[in-house]
Amino acid sequence: MQRQVGRGRIRFPDISPRAYEHPTDRGALVALRAIPGFDAVLKAVSGAIGERSIRLLYLATSIRVSPRQYPDLHQMISECATTLDLKAIPELYIQQDPIPNAMTIGLDKPIIVVSTGLLQLLDTDGLRFAIGHEVGHVLSGHAVYRTMLMQLIGIAQNIQWMPIGVWGLRAIIAALNEWFRKSELSCDRAGLLCVQDPAVALKVHASLAGALNPDEMDVAGFLDQAKDYQESGDVRDSVLKLLQISGQSHPMAALRAAELQKWAAGTEYPDILAGNYPRRSEDKNAPLGEDVKAAASAYQESFSTSSDPLFKVVNKVGGVMGGVGGAAAGRFRDWWQAGRNDPPKDDTSTS
């Protein structure tokens, strides 16, 4: 039987981040690590930053949460860490910033930073979801890549006058942003595991999009926006959507909400609540190839079922080209088996 944490919330002993990580998150991270020069840049950034400098900065400029300072938040992050069975509770800092935001940064010992804007925007359950989301980043080991992204953006801005040197950084920044958008989907799931109420998560996403009091609005209508966004328009709108997401580190709020609610309504979330989830102690035996296959399957499902006009066109072209390729391969095989006396004929010409 699962142990409970506060208010009857379930704890997940030895839970692996694989239990909640979005398959495209893991797949994007595999692709990111394969970029030429990525390891060298990671080592250079890690050496330049240093763990102590990050912690010292926030010690001097923000409020460190403790039993004496923001005691409710201190208890909350302790409960979230317990829920996800994170042994070392990350330090939590409150930063004076009117923009609602939270982030997890650092190298070996990540810290979580929450803005005053987020504290003012969300209620207690909403904050539990947000902090659980950040604890998910810690458990998944995302902090080092998030820190790297922040540093590289600053570096790229300072050396824009060096067009040759900056292109390699831009490629890595673009790949990091693509991965980070996927990692946000993963950690929304971690946040849900901490709050264990999909309605709370939906209200948080609506609040981040502009709902000042989500209890007084039709929050379910917010999901309709995601559906309209995904289904409406023509190919021109599809191109505009690609341009809008370029350079963004977070997925769009309505789409993010729809993705999490879809997961909550599926089978994986109830299975985890029932205690059926991958264990951290088994991670070393989990083959990496499964992550890549899962990512490919997720992308394929999204691609084939999407109502986006551009996806439909590409899917149709892909089907036609696949058929042509298959026919050509068949003719080549027949020619090879027949003795290769004459070249295979091309039956696909329409002229």
Does position 199 have pLDDT exceeding 90, yes or no? yes
pLDDT, residue 346, reads 47
In this structure, of 73-82, 85-94, 205-214, 236-245, the range with the lowest mean pLDDT score is 236-245
Q: Write the DSSP string, 247-267.
A: T-SS--HHHHHHHHHHHHTSS
pLDDT of residue 52: 76
Query: Catalytic residues, which ones?
Result: 134
In the numeric block, the tokens 């930063």 are attached to 95
**341: helix, coil or strand?**
coil
pLDDT value of position 309: 46
Beta-strand ranges (E) seen in the chain are: 4-5, 9-10, 63-64, 91-95, 102-105, 111-115
- Average pLDDT value for the chain: 77
Residue pLDDT, tens place only, 111-136: 999 999 999 999 999 999 999 999 99
Confidence of residue 159 (pLDDT cuts 50, 70, 90): low
75 has a pLDDT exceeding 90:
yes
| Sequence-ordered strand ranges (E) for 20-131 | 63-64, 91-95, 102-105, 111-115
Which pLDDT score, from 0 to 100, does residue 208 have? 92
CA 259, 262, 268, 271 torsion-angle sign: positive
Is 214's pLDDT higher than 80? yes
What is the CA 175 to chain-centroid distance, rounded? 13
Least confident of 26-35, 138-147, 186-195, 238-247: 238-247
SS3 219: coil
| Interval 18-36 mean pLDDT | 80
Average pLDDT over residues 278-307: 60
Most confident of 125-139, 142-156, 272-286, 312-326: 125-139
Q: Which of 56-60, 179-183, 317-321 has the lowest mean pLDDT?
A: 317-321
Range from 137-146, 159-168, 312-321 carrying the lowest mean pLDDT:
312-321
Largest CA distance in the chain: 87
Tokens of 313: 């066109």
Q: Return the structure tokens found at 349.
A: 């010409």
pTM over 0.85: no
